[in-house]
Chain A
Amino acid sequence: MSLKGFRPDQYAQRRFLKIFDFPLLAMTLALCAVGVAAIYSANLQSESAYMKSLYLRQSYYIVLSLILMTAVLAVDYRALERFAYPIYFIGLATLAGTLVFGKIGGGARRWIEIAGYNIQPSELMKIILIIILARGFGDILKKEDLGARDLIKPALFTLFPFMMVASQPDLGTAMILIFIFVCMAFFNGLKTAFLVRTAGLLALATPSFWYLLKPYQQKRILTLLNPEADPMGGGYHIIQSKIAIGSGGLWGKGVFMGTQSKLNFLPAKHTDFIFSVFAEEIGFFGAALLIALFFIFILRMMEVTGLAKDKFGSLLVMGVASMISFNFLFNIGMTMGLFPVVGIPLPFISYGGSALVTNFIGIGLIINVSMGRFKLD
């Protein structure tokens, strides 16, 4: 197989514009637009010029992400299958580097600084894991469902980055890695007996898992169960976020009129709690519409899963879809007090370049795969 660039004439008779998945890109950009507006609103009354200009920076990240996405589109996704291992090891090396040389922020070593920009390698690791797992599962040439032995290799692929991300610590992202693995394995097909045994084992292991958590992580889970027990401490984020969302009511307080965000009661408002800013100002109908948009957006990705030309492509799309699903569900669930507060951003909406680039690369891969089915070999 040759590694050819992106050439429209490769696609049989159909014109590029016809086969390109415009609805997916349109939805992506719509989410980005909501994000920029919400980030603008969140820091509208900030005293710091830097905070006030975050929405502009987010816009630049979107442009950068679109460029990177185009680059991903230009390369046949199947090339990634070949380079999966090198990419994976580069990813692991970067994570290891972060653990050693990374910048500390908020008590965690999550970022490496490059040219004045802080990059969060754990975000990019998600897409790298998807690629290596797609490759790993694709390598297994079996018709029947997978058993425990077949999962050893993919599980190890997941374990290394998981350990490194978890020890930063960035439990949220680490959890997403696990979920990506679980989804991709399940999608690939698992033996019923294995599923039953695993479920039983997990049920037994959960209590001991509690003791592996760091005290502050335990506290977050306890806080989730009863945030009012510590309203000024651990419960503060959840309480203020719930107040912000709830006080939006059916119709919201009006665009740029949120008080919880403007008066700084809401913490991490342009990153993890951007949904609260949005829901406070737009209200139930607007927020429900956003959730519906995410739902259709993800369904569209899953549709591509079934249309992919090969198993690698299909697994790739499934991986990206599950990554975005979990980010979306955990983030919104967290803002509403359904999940503990772990730093998981809302895809395309939360402020942050690394996550944006990662998600756009994911979208690029999906479009790449979706176009691939029209491609002649």
Chain B
Amino acid sequence: MLRTRPEWEDFLRKRRGKIRVFGAALAVACLVIMIRLWHLQVIEYSSLAGRAESNRIRQLTLDGQRGLIVDRDGKVLVDTRPSFRLSVVPEDTPHPKSTLEYLSKKIKVDINSALARIKEVRSFTPVVLNRDMDRNSVAFVEERRFELPGVALEIKPTRHYPHADFAAHVLGYLGSITAQALTEAEGKYAMGDFVGQTGLEKEYEEILRGRKGLKRVEVDAAGRELATLAVEPPKSGHQLKLTMDFMTQKAAEAAFADYRGAAVALDPNTGEVLAFVSKPSFDPNLFTIGISPKEWNSLVTDPAHPLQNRVTHGQYPPGSTFKIAVALAALEEGITTPEREIKCPGYFQFGIRKFRCWNKHGHGTVNLHKAIVESCDVYFYTVGTELGVEKLERTARRLGLGLKTGIRLGGERTGLIPTKEWKLAALKEPWHPGEMVSCAIGQGYVLATPLQLALMTAAVANWGRMVTPTLTVVEQEGRKQNAETGRINISKESVRLVREAMRGVVADPHGTAWRLRNGPYQYAGKTGTAQVVRMREEEPVSEEDVAEHLRDHALFIAFAPYDDPKIAVAVVVENSGHGGEVAAPIAKIIMDTYLARLPEVKRMAKPKPKPQPAAPPAEAPAETTVVVPPADDTRQNPPTEAPAEAPLASPTPSESMEAHNP
């Protein structure tokens, strides 16, 4: 049934135009395609080429090694160790659940939280499964690389504190960077980076942190690395050298044994911190791979507050150590003279109320020297009330009390030197003159941090200069110091009197720190026993009957050697008893350890015949006979000289007077 030619030609004539329409339509379609091609390949070229490159090239950051922290001799206190980190890249893991289950057979993996993370993160963001894998787990994963697509094993440098809880409050710890800090850091950090959270790790983050390096690798669509294109090596952080002395610090921490409290030792000439102890401590290694909520909770809820830095944040009533400030104030303000004598009958009458001296038998006639040496409360009650709150505050502030010390360690508390204005503002009550009585012996409202006490001691040791405490050599070097830096407006004569009295505290027959008398160096110091709660006048309680957390704090401030001081210390031992008994031996250990390493400081010859005149036997019979071995902890060697306890450990807390308004 074929068409004949004439019929066909008729058809063809009519369709010629149609073919042209088809041709034109095709031309238009091709043109559209060409324009689109031009658009993609020319106009959008740079953006699409960039996307092709970012498809192909993955930038990996290489962490710079964090700088070491070393002590003043270069002994390593903090370093970095490699840890193996296991993660999955959701994009490259076809069956995350079964992969995780497979891994969890051998490795500790929190499947549920990992699956939740996988759902919420962007598909190419690795989800960390285990931050610190042991060797066997690493081998397990390595051997099964091909069965575990998307599972990545990375070596991460991890902060390591080889001495565990050593100086933890100074060194600080690391933690994952917070989202807020991440945005503020402007690319210096990546998510999951560990940054200093407290202590020097935080304060010197900039110096310790290295610079990140980059590695550009070519990857395929499955995320496999095919080739390394470029490497920009990371830069390591700088080493941070501390002024701290490892041996001194170690000895100080050991001396505390199980006591709570704080001790700080510094060079009174420069302010270099030599030891910095806050007890109890914690192990910063807990934080380096991410602390578990359980561990964190136990640290935070611990009633002993191990995370608190007691040196800068612990505010204690300074007790009798405050008498140094009161004495200086009284001398400077002309309230007292070295010659002035006051009779101590064992109590002080202020209006209708009686305030007791710690020695209920009384100290007899007392001048300034004896008042400091024997810590006579009545002398200071008298001088203090004459002095008044304003004048006391003026001198206390010169000695740095109630003020920030300027230490670079993430903030500090100021302690408290009360004023009339302060009381009105804080307690809405007017100042009562009787409150000066308890303030004069470092009780009442007076509070100080151990660091402040150490600096006050240093100021006495260095003849009247307030130094700024420094923890690092770099900070120390950045500061120009001479013999007049920080000179305070207190006459050298007043300082001399107080220094002599502080020497007497150790060396004089009735000195409250007689335990240190026979040590290898010439110490000067002042004991203190601070009441935690005020006890009723008529109900003296024996130490053992008081709940532990209500017992007195023992304090001791000291410097040595007396002639050319190289170290000043403040020790606070919480709820432990008397300053001379508990705190002074710790201070002695700290001073002895440090001074032993200074070649220019001569040890004294073992004192065989006692140079001091014999003490009146009635008051301190033991003192003439007892020899306290150097660097010995009296607490562990219960004194063979039981009567020696008498002048110190009277059953009544030494500052037992109630200072409240009735």
Contacts and interface: CB of A to CB of B under 8 A. Distances in A.
Contact of B48 (A242, A311, A312, A338): A242
Interface stretch (A31-39, A153-161, A243-251): A243-251
B220 A263 contact: yes
B34 to A, nearest CB: 6
Given A302-B23, A310-B8, A264 B49 contact: no
A294 B26 CA distance: 10
Given A143-B10, A310-B3, A247 B222 contact: no
A291 B41 contact: no
Cβ-closest 9 pairs across A and B = A246-B48, A247-B52, A264-B221, A263-B220, A284-B41, A247-B49, A246-B40, A249-B45, A310-B3
A187 interface: yes
B30 interface: yes
A318 to B, nearest CB: 8
Interface string B220-251: 11100010000000000000000000000000
A259 B12 contact: no
Contacts of A306: 12, 15-16, 19
Contact of B18 (A189, A310, A312): A189
Given A232-B123, A310-B2, A336-B33, A260 B42 contact: no
Contacts of A186: 18
A314 to B, nearest CB: 7
A333 interface: yes
Interface in B1-23: 1-3, 5, 7-8, 10-12, 14-16, 18-19, 22-23
20 contacts: A81-B2, A187-B18, A242-B44, A243-B48, A246-B41, A246-B44, A249-B42, A260-B52, A263-B226, A265-B55, A265-B220, A265-B221, A288-B37, A295-B30, A310-B3, A314-B11, A329-B33, A332-B33, A338-B32, A338-B33
A183 interface: yes
Main secondary structure of the interface of B (DSSP, over half): helix
Contacts of A279: 37, 41
A291 B30 contact: yes
B interface bracket (residues with beta carbon within 8 Å of A): 35 or more
Contacts of B2: 1, 78, 81, 310, 312
A302 B1 CA distance: 25
A299 B26 contact: yes
Interface in B530-578: none
Contacts of A309: 5, 8
A143 B9 CA distance: 11
B15 A287 contact: no
B37 A187 contact: no
Interface residues of A, number: 56
A305 interface: yes
Contacts of A325: 26, 29
A318 B11 CA distance: 14
A298 interface: yes
A250 B41 contact: yes
Interface string A313-344: 01000100110010001001100111000000
Nearest to A292: B30
Contact of B22 (A183, A243, A310): A183
A72 B3 CA distance: 21
A302 B37 contact: no
A150 to B, nearest CB: 15
Contact of A338 (B5, B15, B36, B56): B36
A235 interface: no
A247 B45 contact: yes
B29 A329 contact: yes
Contacts of B1: 81, 139
B51 interface: yes
Nearest to B22: A302
A232 B19 CA distance: 44
Interface in B31-68: 32-34, 36-38, 40-42, 44-45, 47-49, 51-53, 55-56
B591 to A, nearest CB: 68
Nearest to B4: A310
B27 interface: yes
A332 B27 CA distance: 15
Contacts of B3: 138, 310-312
A231 B14 CA distance: 50
B218 interface: yes
Given A244-B52, A246-B49, A305 B19 contact: yes
Contacts of B52: 243-244, 246-247, 259-260, 265
Contacts of A245: 37, 40-41, 48
Contacts of A247: 45, 48-49, 51-53
Contacts of B41: 245-246, 248-250, 279, 283-284, 287
Interface in A171-201: 183, 186-187, 189
A12 to B, nearest CB: 15
Contacts of B48: 242-243, 245-247
A238 B91 CA distance: 19
Contacts of B123: 232
A187 B56 contact: no
B19 A302 contact: yes
Contacts of A262: 220
Given A242-B48, A247-B52, 14 more contacts: A139-B1, A242-B40, A246-B47, A246-B49, A247-B45, A247-B53, A249-B41, A259-B55, A260-B55, A265-B55, A306-B15, A306-B16, A312-B3, A336-B37
B219 interface: yes
Nearest to A144: B14
Nearest to A338: B36
Contacts of A240: 55
A263 B37 contact: no
A187 B33 contact: no
A377 to B, nearest CB: 8
A238 to B, nearest CB: 12
Contacts of A298: 26
Given A291-B37, A299-B26, A336-B36, A189 B14 contact: yes
A322 to B, nearest CB: 8
A81 B16 CA distance: 23
Contacts of A314: 8, 11-12, 15
A246 B45 contact: yes
B399 to A, nearest CB: 67
B15 A250 contact: no
A336 B40 contact: yes
A271 to B, nearest CB: 17
A229 to B, nearest CB: 16
A175 B44 CA distance: 31
Contact of B33 (A248, A291, A321): A291
Nearest to A241: B40
